[in-house]
Chain A
Amino acid sequence: MGRDFQTILDECLRELETGQSLDAVLARYPEQADELRPLLLTAQSLKAVPIARPRSHVQQAGWQRFLGEAIALRRARERRPAFSLWQPLAAAASLVLVILSLSGGATVYAASRSLPDSPLYPIKLAAEEARLWFVFDEDDQAGILLDQSETRMTEIRKLVQQGKPVKGNVLSAMRGRMTRATDIIDKSDAPQELVTRANELSARQEDILIVIGDNVLAGDKAEYGKVLVVVHEVRIELQGLSEAAPRLDPEVLAQGISSFTGLVEQRQDDAWTISGTKILVDEATIVEGDTGEVVGQVAQVTIISGPGGPQAIGISLRSSEDVAKTSTIAGVIDKVDGNKIQLGGRTFKLDASTVIDAGSLVMESGVRARVESECPEEMLVEGVCQGSELVAKRIVLLASEGPSETVTVEGVFQGQDDGAWIIAGVPIDFAPESPALVTPPAGTMVKVTGSQQGQAIVVTTAESIRPPEELGLVKLEGVVSQVDDNQWQIGPAPFRTTAVTRVSGQLIPGARAVVWGLPREDESLDVIQVDVLDTRSLIAP
């Protein structure tokens, strides 16, 4: 038996390595199974032995010795002119010295503030790499890589705010750092806070990436698709959703994504019916919110074009009560001050989760914008916001013209308080010269347009967009494209205007719009209302 048994044992060990179960492996060797089993169990238990990890400060000190030895060896070689390795060695020496001294240097200081369109940007990235060289604790490394990935997100937001295209270099750097951080988190017993942070960061990155698609130049679309895939898959992996999740195709993501909102009517394993529309789901679909009883909740779905129809990559569930907490105020930005903007007599605070959809516009005073916001939870008293600042959830800069004082407020009407309408918790005062308004039933989605007069509005129109009982409507948001006369699309989602469609603004290809409609059997929408947000196309003719 001797040697043969050794070979069989070795084969069994290799088969276990491929992920086969012990019983499956032993079944192939019934005669030797009894002898093999304890040995294979021993081998398996060895895999479970925790790995001893060195102390990071000692490893760091060792690195200084190691690097010092390398520099000494290189210099020794440099003193021997017969060898032609001089130049690369000198270059490497310079690099080491430069990197070691960079942290306090003026160039790096200037580079540290550079954006991806600056010639100093590569120095900024190199200095970040150098910082990692002196960090040997893997959890610390992962934390720094997450910081750096978050910095890429900030840079993207700045580019977008300044109306500049988002370049492939920053997308690639964001992807690289996020990948490296999660590689470390995957393989180590990373603290839960690190896992949570990576998960939250990737979710915010995905939100922002989805809306900046139009800011990415055609030549960088491939990188855009790749980074979207990475942040999405990081979320799947860190949430432990499914190891069998199908891979997303970067090319499909690069082609277009749209946002679809409706009421969940039915849930099946492979598809959800949302306001009459069948949306495909699979293991790559990330569902957030209360996933217990989903029927009856409002779902905001991020969809791409799948082979079998609209495919959800993300579903965010909210109760009707939560949806009613969001108000939308559109108008001209009065002031941009750090992380705050003023618009329509209100102050909105931006935080790390604020999504900015800027098209090719600059976020500055004088630009028209549409701000979705919520009252901070701690400032809500009996459903009325007591604070002077709202938290901006999403800012859409509009390619729109019109009088600077025009303001629009949208949200769920909750009631009246001393003459003011409470819309999504925000009290809206009407100027005395406003016409008398018919008070809608509580729960109605309303849209009030007028001119700003201090904190109040001189109302010109007040509309009921959606009565509370009409829950079958679907809402689409995004950049529209025209298929033919009455056929339009937002991302991969088709919709159709009819004789009864009410269009606010001029529906032109390349403009952003919010579309309300009823689903048809062919899964397109018969549109009831279109609010065109831009008066000019975002896409160059």
Chain B
Amino acid sequence: MSVQTLSLLAREGSIRTTAQERTQQSAQVRREEELIRRAQEFDQEALGWLYQLFYPKLYNYAYLQMGDVQQAEDLASEVLLRVVESLKDYRFRGAPVSAWVFRIARNYLIDLHRRRQRRPQVSLYEGIPDAEDSPHDAAERAIAQGELRLALTRLTEEQRQVIILKFVQGMDNTSVARVLGRSEGAVKSLQHRALVSLRKILSSQEVE
């Protein structure tokens, strides 16, 4: 497979899903299967694809939840090391590779959270101001990164995952379900509740 194809995959995977990409999804999944097979053989191009595609996505995923540049970078690096270590055990079952990678990321984040809870002086959301600290400039503006992070802190962990994975990372319900270990029906339900909660939080921020 050519490097050109690798680049195409990186592009398709890193932007949010569009209608056109959805129609290409099955072809993309087949290309991913081939690339993962090559990555398992330590093929340099395939490893490069994996890294280039997922580092920025994992960074963004972590930054939205941790609000700290350095911690987000650490998470992206650590998760990718786990990915390369786990490659030998990975079996391709038709789902996008991102579902597997983000499942590792979520588990890592949960582990990190637990470790830090045992040391209560360090918050998982260290560095993120409380909602009450929010300035009034949220009203009538598009949601910016900081505002979203702020709002996400007030969702449940699963709701937060659905919002980030589906609306920021552009995953479909099937992939989100695999990351969370839930059914697709449960994801729809979480999605509904997450949007309702987010709407309320953002509205209250506008009023404040």
Which A positions have Cβ atoms within 8 angstroms of B? Answer: 3, 5-7, 9-10, 13, 17-19, 38-39, 42-43, 45-55, 58-59, 62-63, 65-67, 69-71, 73-74, 85, 88-89, 92-93, 95-96, 99, 129, 133, 136, 176, 179-180, 183-184, 187
A54 touching B195, Cβ below 8 Å: no
Docked complex: B159-208 residues within 8 A CB-CB of A: 163, 167-168, 173, 185, 188-189, 191-192, 195-196, 198-199, 202
B56 touching A54, Cβ below 8 Å: yes
B142 touching A67, Cβ below 8 Å: no
A46 touching B163, Cβ below 8 Å: yes
CA of A13 to CA of B168 in the docked complex: distance in angstroms? Answer: 14
Residues of A within 8 Å of B135, CB to CB, are none
Residues of B within 8 Å of A13, CB to CB, are 191
CA of A85 to CA of B38 in the docked complex: distance in angstroms? Answer: 12
- CB-CB contacts of B136-159 with A at 8 A, as 1s and 0s? 000000111100100000000000
Residues of B within 8 Å of A47, CB to CB, are 16, 167
B168 touching A46, Cβ below 8 Å: yes
Q: Is B98 an interface residue (CB 8 A)?
A: no
Q: Name which residue of chain A comes closest to B40, CB basis.
A: A85
> How many residues of chain B are within 8 Å of chain A by beta carbon?
56
CA of A461 to CA of B27 in the docked complex: distance in angstroms? Answer: 67
Q: Is B112 an interface residue (CB 8 A)?
A: no
- CB-CB contacts of B1-39 with A at 8 A, as 1s and 0s? 011100110010011111100100000000000000000
B148 touching A73, Cβ below 8 Å: no
A49 touching B47, Cβ below 8 Å: no
Supposing A85-B41, A96-B44 touch, asked if A54 and B198 sit within 8 A by C-beta, the answer is no
* Residue from B11, B14, B59, B84 within 8 A of A54 (CB atoms): B59
B4 touching A176, Cβ below 8 Å: yes
* Residue from A9, A85, A89 within 8 A of B191 (CB atoms): A9
B44 touching A92, Cβ below 8 Å: yes
| 26 A-B pairs (CB sep. < 8 Å) | A3-B189, A6-B189, A9-B191, A10-B173, A17-B22, A42-B195, A42-B198, A42-B202, A43-B195, A49-B144, A49-B148, A50-B144, A51-B168, A53-B60, A55-B73, A59-B55, A59-B76, A62-B51, A66-B81, A71-B42, A88-B41, A88-B42, A96-B44, A133-B44, A176-B2, A183-B11
Give B42 Cβ to nearest chain A Cβ, in Å.
5
B4 touching A6, Cβ below 8 Å: no
Residues of B within 8 Å of A53, CB to CB, are 56, 59-60
Docked complex: B46-77 residues within 8 A CB-CB of A: 47-48, 51-52, 55-56, 59-60, 63-64, 69, 72-73, 76-77
Given pairs A59-B56, A59-B59, 9 additional interface contacts (CB within 8 A)? A9-B191, A10-B173, A17-B17, A19-B19, A65-B81, A70-B42, A73-B84, A92-B42, A184-B11
* Residue from A39, A51, A69, A96 within 8 A of B60 (CB atoms): A51
A45 touching B17, Cβ below 8 Å: no
Q: Is B130 an interface residue (CB 8 A)?
A: no
Give B143 Cβ to nearest chain A Cβ, in Å.
5
* Residue from A54, A129, A180 within 8 A of B76 (CB atoms): A54
A45 touching B55, Cβ below 8 Å: no
Residues of B within 8 Å of A39, CB to CB, are 192, 195-196, 199
* Residue from B18, B52, B199 within 8 A of A42 (CB atoms): B199
Residues of B within 8 Å of A62, CB to CB, are 51, 55, 73, 76-77, 80
